[in-house]
């Protein structure tokens, strides 16, 4: 009996692996320009190998909450509201202009986009851009549920609850 209790205690001590938090991320690495993000299925000269870039914060709950804070901090809300869109397009949706893969979102935020999205590459450190990417994906239920807060402080939770303004208009 006593051994069982000690066993349980030891198991409780060792079984739970805590989420790793990198409280001092290294300074921004060289930002990946070029073919990190897929912008079109059409490739010159046929399928060349694509650079693959993975989100270092994929599924990380701390990164999602930091991303949410930064989304307000850098005033993304000024143009995108809480994801529902304002003078900028909504960021909770099914059809993305520039793609919703982590590398696409990273690319959009770093470089900016021609119709009014500023470039943030020189202003926001790389790890914070990945946190924003993770937050934007969590708003779209693209991050694991276990890492996403039950209720995000956004106006909508799911792209399925937002209706297109009119047929053919980009959302």
Give me the residue label for tokens 């990380």. Answer: 60
Give the integer Cα–Cα distance in Å for 143 and 82.
Answer: 18
Where does this chain touch ligand HEC (CB under 6 A) — which range of 10-18, 43-51, 90-98, 138-146? 90-98
If binding is defined by CB under 6 A, does position 114 make contact with ligand HEC?
yes
String of contacts with ligand HEC for each residue 134-153, x by CB under 6 A: --x-----------------
If binding is defined by CB under 6 A, does position 166 make contact with ligand HEC?
no
If binding is defined by CB under 6 A, does position 96 make contact with ligand HEC?
yes
Q: How far is the CB of 151 from ligand HEC (least distance, A)?
A: 21
If binding is defined by CB under 6 A, does position 118 make contact with ligand HEC?
yes
Give 75 or 146: the residue with its C-beta nearer to ligand HEC.
75
If binding is defined by CB under 6 A, does position 162 make contact with ligand HEC?
no
Give the integer Cα–Cα distance in Å for 89 and 112.
Answer: 13
Residue 65 CB partners (closer than 8 Å, separation 6+): 149
CB 148 within 8 A of CB 141: yes
Q: How far is the CB of 91 from ligand HEC (least distance, A)?
A: 6
CB 104 within 8 A of CB 88: no
Residue 105 CB partners (closer than 8 Å, separation 6+): 99, 132, 133, 136, 137
If binding is defined by CB under 6 A, does position 164 make contact with ligand HEC?
no
If binding is defined by CB under 6 A, does position 109 make contact with ligand HEC?
yes
CA atoms within 13 A on the CB side of 67: 32
Which of positions 46-85 make contact with ligand HEC (CB under 6 A)? 74-76, 78-80
Rg (CA), the chain: 19
If binding is defined by CB under 6 A, does position 91 make contact with ligand HEC?
yes
Tell me, by CB under 6 A, how many residues bind ligand HEC. 24
């Amino acid at each position: 009996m006593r051994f069982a209790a000690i066993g349980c205690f030891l198991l409780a001590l060792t079984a739970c692996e805590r989420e790793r938090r990198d409280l001092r991320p290294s300074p921004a690495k060289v930002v990946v320009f070029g073919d990190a993000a897929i912008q079109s299925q059409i490739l010159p000269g046929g399928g060349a190998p694509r650079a693959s870039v993975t989100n270092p914060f994929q599924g990380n709950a701390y990164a999602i909450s930091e991303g949410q804070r930064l989304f307000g901090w850098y005033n993304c809300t000024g143009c995108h509201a809480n994801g529902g869109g304002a003078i900028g397009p909504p960021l909770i949706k099914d059809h993305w202009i520039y793609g919703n893969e982590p590398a696409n979102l990273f690319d959009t935020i770093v470089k900016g986009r021609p119709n009014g999205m500023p470039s943030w590459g020189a202003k926001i450190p790389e790890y914070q851009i990945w946190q924003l990417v993770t937050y934007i994906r969590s708003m779209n239920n693209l991050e694991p549920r276990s890492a996403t807060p039950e209720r995000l402080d956004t106006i909508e939770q799911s792209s399925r609850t937002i209706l297109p303004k009119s047929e053919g208009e980009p959302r």
